[in-house]
Amino acid sequence: MVDTRQLGRQPGSMRTVNRIVTVPEAFSGALASVPEGSEVEFDLRLEAVMEGVLVTGTVKGQLTAECSRCLDPLSDEIEAGFQELYRYCDDESAAADEDASDEDEDYYLEGDLLDLGPVVRDAVVLALPLSPLCEPDCPGLCAECGVRLAEVGPDHGHGDAVDPRWEALRAIAEDPGER
């Protein structure tokens, strides 16, 4: 929660906030996550506007993942930007908003406090890499034996193992006279 009392409700006023926060629950994707209990750093700019408070910021932290090719664990920094308008909550407008459709995804100030949790979670999860790599040219794993190809080198092979589904065609190619 971020307190906006020092900002006031005067349109045009601005305040910056820098804060380090512990992540209460993991922000995770398929292969990468910002683990629960890790620290993230916020750099925020709060601006009072007619409708509410415009929050523009970045969040930085450490992600943990496994390489999508060789499955080795890796750690990297992540930075995600976000911008969201938190509307002032008046009793009359809140009642009107309850009647509005559920598709309305506006965020509201809770008194003088704003909850950045859902906005930050969405920004971080969208910034997580879909296919993290330990190295840009990671060769991955051998399809036959599962060994890391980076460790065995380019001469690694398994002979002339032929897929049994192609065996009939190989027999025809070797002796085309027999049919």
Q: What pLDDT, on a 0 to 100 scale, did the predictor assign at position 101?
A: 42
Euclidean distance between CA atoms 53 and 58, whole angstroms: 16
Contacts of 50 (CB under 8 A, 6+ apart): 11
Each as own residue / partner, the long-range contacts of residues 148-156 (CB below 8 Å, 24 or more positions apart, any chain) are 148/70, 148/72, 149/70, 150/70
Q: Are residues 154 and 77 in the same domain?
A: no
User: Is residue 118 assigned to a domain?
Assistant: yes
Same domain, 89 and 172: no
Boundaries of domain holding 24:
2-127
My answer on whether 80 and 116 are in the same domain is: yes
pLDDT at 92: 47
On whether both 171 and 96 belong to a single domain, the answer is no
Indicate if 39 and 95 belong to the same structural domain: yes
- Each residue's pLDDT expressed in tens, for the chain with a length of 179 residues: 777 777 777 788 888 889 898 888 888 888 888 988 889 999 999 998 888 889 999 999 999 999 888 888 999 899 999 999 989 877 545 545 554 444 457 888 888 788 888 898 899 999 998 889 988 888 888 887 888 888 887 777 776 666 778 877 877 888 776 55
Q: Are residues 149 and 89 in the same domain?
A: no
Are 38 and 116 contained in the same domain? yes
Same domain, 108 and 143: no
Q: Is residue 49 part of a domain?
A: yes
Cα four-point dihedral sign 34, 40, 44, 50? positive
Q: Would 148 be classed as within a structural domain?
A: yes
Tell me how far apart the alpha carbons of residues 89 and 95 are, in angstroms, rounded to a whole number: 10
Q: Are residues 85 and 10 in the same domain?
A: yes
| Residue 139 zone, left/alpha/beta (φ > 0; ψ -120 to 50; rest) | alpha
The reply to whether 169 falls in a domain is yes
Q: Indicate if 151 and 106 belong to the same structural domain.
A: no
pLDDT of residue 62: 92
* 143 and 123 fall within a common domain: no
Distance set, CA 61 to CA 3, 36, 39, 106, 147 (Å): 22, 12, 6, 26, 32
Name the domain count of the chain: 2
Q: Quick one: pLDDT at residue 95?
A: 44
Q: Enter the pTM of the model.
A: 0.70
Backbone angles phi, psi at 90, to 5 degrees: -100, 150
Last residue of one domain, picked from the residues 89, 106, 127: 127
The answer to whether residues 17 and 3 touch, using CB atoms and an 8 Å cutoff, is: no
Does residue 132 fall inside a structural domain? no
Residues 29 and 95 in one domain: yes
